[in-house]
Structure 1
Amino acid sequence: MPLLLISKGVFAADDVPAIAAASSIKFALDEVAQQFKADTGRKVRITYGSSGNFVAQIKHGAPFELFLSADERYTQQLSQAGKAQGNGVIYAVGKLALAAPKNSPLVLDGDLNGLKQLIKNQQLKRFAIANPDHAPYGERAKEVLQNLGLWDTIQTQLIFGENVSQAAQFTLSGSTQGGLVALSLASAARFKARAHYVVMPQSLYSPLNQRMVLTLKAGQTASEFYRYIQTDKAQQTFAEYGFGKVVN
């Protein structure tokens, strides 16, 4: 999609929309928002958190004008509830990574053999994932652990982050020996300086099609930002943070 050319100063000065976004896209979306401001002169105000929690907030009247989910199932819930403008579009495809602090005894591999070995040797103390009850990356981490036969045996060592960003913080801080987190966070420079990671095979979990929708409260700037995220320039930024190619 070609880059939109938007004239600066066209919108009302007080049109700074509240945006709800999955925490997995923080580094990428912050950069896209800066590009949007440079190209259009317009600003957005972004709140990051878990997709499931945002759905509940928007249903109860939260003033968000655009919702970028980590899993399209959550935007579909808003559409079905009549709280969104149509079905929206997929803006990114998420990926999982296994990460560990550089001083961790956990050996990283896509089959989690290193994790299995730590469990077998009773050396695993804490392992982080996002809460699978309302965070899509937590749901997919649970799928990986189930598919590799580890879910039941790792229960007492699991530490749940409220969202995948918090799970990544637990992993980065050294309070755990590792975690399953978003590749987009694990591959960021500030994370790589303190931790290692490997990309998990996508065959181990359901696709993370990250969809966005405009809410019924959306104004002009939110609508322009929604279109801007779909441009080649913004999509290249998402790709640089490890997101997969979008096919709508």
Structure 2
Amino acid sequence: MLVRARLFAPTVLAALITSFTVGTACADDVQVAVAANFTAPIQAIANDFEKDTGHKLIAAYGATGQFYTQIKNGAPFEVFLAADDSTPEKLEKEGETVPGSRFTYAVGTLALWSAKDGYVDPEGQVLKEGTYQHLAIANPKAAPYGLAATQVLEKMGLTEKVKDKLVEGQNITQAYQFVSTGNAQLGFVALSQIYKDGKVSSGSAWIIPEALHDPIKQDAVILKKGANNPAAKALTEYLKGPKAAAIIKSFGYHL
């Protein structure tokens, strides 16, 4: 038995080394541009993605409009998770994407939020009362959630009334920070920033009816730089699967 063990040990070791080498060789990094509102969900998804596929997701977060400019200027992103559907479609028409790779990975929800408990009522009447000094929004020219916020104000007839109260963040993360730090009493944020497992996790909020703004369809697409990267394809397929869907829904998105 000892002789057989000595004979087979090198073979087993070689097999283990080969298995490890193959697994390592198949693992790739994927550079992803992620809309700021999707920061928490993609961080949660990344953990499972890496465990299940071996690929590593390297994310940058920001405003969709800013990412468009960076992509056009040669930024090394391989997958783009936008906060709208129009920007990926535009890149597609301009030949910057892998044909047929675009799809909607989530539909976002806008919320009016205050870090203070009980400050925002369930119908959003606090917006009309005007007792707040500052109202935070994301830049409507670069961030789809900011554009949706301006549509809400317009439909409620409040555009002129609140224009001197507005404080504008470069993206939805900065708008959230204005409110969370108390620099703004109120702000339009992505529900995903304040929502977890079926409830608002802090402060008070009005979940804004979809009828008050255009749908926030968020599309993903593989960019030209990711055409030959297996991890780029793996990520977009993973986002369509049940594990990712469960995480996305838990942050208040629709699919």
Question: Under TM normalisation by the shorter chain, which class is it?
Answer: 0.7 to 0.9
**Displacement over 6 Å in runs of 4+:** none
Q: TM-score, normalised by structure 1?
A: 0.87
Structure 1 stretches lacking a partner, 5+ long: 1-7
Offset of residue 172 of structure 1: 1.3
Please tell me whether Structure 1 or Structure 2 has the larger radius of gyration of its CA atoms.
2
Structure 2 stretches lacking a partner, 5+ long: 1-21
| Matched letter for residue 203 of structure 2 | A
Query: How big is each residue's C-alpha offset from its partner over 1:190-221, in whole Å with a ceiling of 9 and x where there is no partner?
Result: x9554222211111000011000000111111
Contact 1:71 1:208 in 2 (8 A): yes
| Aligned-residue identity in percent | 34
Offset of residue 86 of structure 1: 2.3
Contact 2:195 2:201 in 1 (8 A): no
Q: What residue number does 1:234 align with?
A: 244
Q: What residue number does 2:57 align with?
A: 44
Query: How big is each residue's C-alpha offset from its partner over 1:139-172, in whole Å with a ceiling of 9 and x where there is no partner?
Result: 0001001100111111111111111111111111
Give me the whole-angstrom Cα distance separating, in 2, the residues matched to 1:232 and 1:194: 28
Give me the whole-angstrom Cα distance separating, in 2, the residues matched to 1:200 and 1:65: 33
Q: What residue number does 1:185 align with?
A: 193
| Matched letter for residue 84 of structure 1 | T
Give me the whole-angstrom Cα distance separating, in 1, the residues matched to 2:51 and 2:161: 50
Give me the whole-angstrom Cα distance separating, in 1, the residues matched to 2:144 and 2:196: 20
Give me the whole-angstrom Cα distance separating, in 2, the residues matched to 1:48 and 1:195: 24
Give me the whole-angstrom Cα distance separating, in 2, the residues matched to 1:184 and 1:65: 24
1:209 aligns with 2:217: yes
Contact 1:11 1:221 in 2 (8 A): no
* Stretch moving more, 133-142 or 38-47: 38-47
Q: What residue number does 1:172 align with?
A: 180
For 1:152, what is the secondary structure of its paired residue? helix
Query: How big is each residue's C-alpha offset from its partner over 1:15-53, in whole Å with a ceiling of 9 and x where there is no partner?
Result: 312100101111111111111011122211000100011
Superposed CA RMSD = 1.9
For 1:228, what is the secondary structure of its paired residue? helix
1:223 aligns with 2:236: no
1:26 aligns with 2:39: yes
Q: What residue number does 1:101 align with?
A: 115
**Structure with the bigger percentage of helix:** 2
Query: How big is each residue's C-alpha offset from its partner over 1:37-81, in whole Å with a ceiling of 9 and x where there is no partner?
Result: 111222110001000111111111110000000100110111011
Query: How big is each residue's C-alpha offset from its partner over 1:165-186, in whole Å with a ceiling of 9 and x where there is no partner?
Result: 1111111111111111101112
Q: What residue number does 1:113 align with?
A: 125
